[in-house]
């Protein structure tokens, strides 16, 4: 199981990759539900980070398959 730091590093790396190599996808990152907390003090745990990382990977994979 990855640590919080590892997950955040992976998310940052993939986000930079999207920004650099797939700028047309970058605009969708702000629309991801994980980035819009529905409470005043959200508790982001490793499960939420893993889900977010998976959603980023799925976004890139789907884009690559379609283009």
Q: Return the domain boundaries, the chain.
A: 4-35+44-66
Q: Is the dihedral of CA 15, 53, 51, 5 positive or negative?
A: negative
pLDDT tens-digit map of 5-28? 999 999 999 999 999 999 998 887
Question: What's 61's DSSP letter?
Answer: H
DSSP one-letter string for 2-47: --HHHHHHHHHHHHHHHHHH-HHHHGGGGGSGGGS-SSSS----HH
Burial of 53 (0-12, 13-18, 19+ CB in 10 A): buried
pLDDT at 39: 61
pTM of the model: 0.78
pLDDT at 13: 95
Residue 32 has pLDDT above 60, yes or no: no
Closest Cα partner for 34 from 13, 16, 49?
A: 49
pLDDT tens-digit map of 34-50? 555 556 666 778 998 99
């Amino acid at each position: 199981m990855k640590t919080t730091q590892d997950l955040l590093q992976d998310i940052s790396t993939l986000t930079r990759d999207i920004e650099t190599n797939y700028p047309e996808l970058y605009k969708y990152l702000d629309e991801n539900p994980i980035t819009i907390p529905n409470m005043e003090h959200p508790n982001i745990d490793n499960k939420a980070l893993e889900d977010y990382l998976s959603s980023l990977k799925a976004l890139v994979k789907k884009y690559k398959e379609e283009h």
